[in-house]
Amino acid sequence: MHPALQLKSLLAGGRIVRAPGAYDALSARLVEQAGFEAIYMTGFGATASRLGQPDIGLLTQTEMTTHARDMVRVVTTPVIADADTGYGGPSNIARTVREYVQAGVAAIHLEDQVAPKRCGQMAGIKLIDAAENARRLKAALAARGDEALLVIGRTDALPAVGIAEALDRAKRYQDAGVDLVFVDGIKKIAEVEAVARGLAGPKVVSIVDGNETTALTAADLQAMGFAVVLYAVTPLFAATLAVQQALATLRADGTPRAVPTLSYADFTRVVDLAAHQTLDEQFGA
């Protein structure tokens, strides 16, 4: 089944879809192996893993869609991909949609920031006109045509101008025809509750490590009416901390003996070495 149809089926089932953030193909494998319903290709994580820099609009459309293809190749779980602002005008948006369709992702989200965008948790976000962004979303939907891809309308208005404008924009994007809406930049439980009360229909929420919303469980969010929850940075932050701690121990001790790690054999199972060994046994010299 096409990943987008898998995701639609999950959404129709009424249980919240949990999508931890994957920052590369290896972390996408780990999310799938952990048994989650979907994988979130986070632009924040993609920028960190590819460039080692912050999420301030540095990656191009080609880099992002290549990153998506790399993930989709190694998993069967639906991938929800960050498509930033669409990378330009209507023609750029149309190409972005076609590239993500060809990459095989299940869904993309497009946001209403002025390019170059920045992470929704950052200060200084600037928005484009809501009516203009609704037209841009219609351009994306037109480019999708009969393809199974889901389009998510994201607004970053909450941290920039407040909840009332964020809800108004999300409703405009629903009216434009998107499949789900996403109010980003949430940092407080009260903001999650305000979006839940003020916005009907399928919606996405992002829970970001380090703020109070981490007290909310997936069951809590489902009860509030959210269809998808993204844990965009949890794997990235956890992996970064683990590497920092491992390197500090290695530097201090002069040996990796005290570093908690996988065995070589365990790691080869993560990357499915056995499948390649089977191919070599069947067809190799």
One pLDDT digit (tens) per residue for the chain, 285 residues: 899 999 999 999 999 999 999 999 999 999 999 999 999 999 999 999 999 999 888 999 999 999 999 999 999 999 999 999 999 999 999 999 999 999 999 999 999 998 777 665 656 789 999 999 999 999 999 999 999 999 999 999 999 999 999 999 999 999 999 999 999 999 999 999 999 999 999 999 999 999 999 999 999 999 999 999 999 999 999 999 999 999 999 999 999 999 999 999 999 999 999 999 999 999 987
Placement of tokens 């060809």 in the chain: 102
- Specify whether the CB–CB gap between 157 and 169 falls below 8 A: yes
Instruction: Examine the domain organization and report whether 190 and 271 are in the same domain.
Output: no
- Specify whether the CB–CB gap between 50 and 63 falls below 8 A: yes
Instruction: Examine the domain organization and report whether 262 and 195 are in the same domain.
Output: no
Who's near 31: CB < 8 A, 6+ residues apart? 20, 22, 39, 75, 77, 235
What pLDDT was estimated at residue 1? 84
Residue burial 128-144, b: 16+ Cβ < 10 Å; e: rest: eebeebbebbbbbbebb
Half-sphere exposure of 18 (CA within 13 A, CB side): 14
Instruction: Examine the domain organization and report whether 75 and 216 are in the same domain.
Output: yes
Residue burial 86-124, b: 16+ Cβ < 10 Å; e: rest: bbeeeebbbbbbbbbbebbbbbbbbbbbeeebbbbbeee
What pLDDT was estimated at residue 123? 60
Instruction: Examine the domain organization and report whether 247 and 229 are in the same domain.
Output: no
Instruction: Examine the domain organization and report whether 8 and 131 are in the same domain.
Output: yes
Instruction: Examine the domain organization and report whether 76 and 105 are in the same domain.
Output: yes
Instruction: Examine the domain organization and report whether 230 and 263 are in the same domain.
Output: no
Quote the pTM value. Answer: 0.96
Instruction: Examine the domain organization and report whether 144 and 272 are in the same domain.
Output: no
What pLDDT was estimated at residue 179? 98
Using DSSP's 3-state secondary structure scheme, residue 187 falls into coil
What pLDDT was estimated at residue 189? 98
What pLDDT was estimated at residue 268? 96
Q: How many CB atoms lie within 10 A of CB 268?
A: 14
Instruction: Examine the domain organization and report whether 152 and 200 are in the same domain.
Output: yes
Instruction: Examine the domain organization and report whether 165 and 273 are in the same domain.
Output: no
Instruction: Examine the domain organization and report whether 211 and 264 are in the same domain.
Output: no
Angle between the 61-74 and 90-103 helix axes, to the nearest 10 degrees? 20
Domain hosting 121: range is: 3-234
What pLDDT was estimated at residue 285? 78
Rounded Cα–Cα distance for residues 212 and 193 (Å): 13
Domain count, the chain: 2
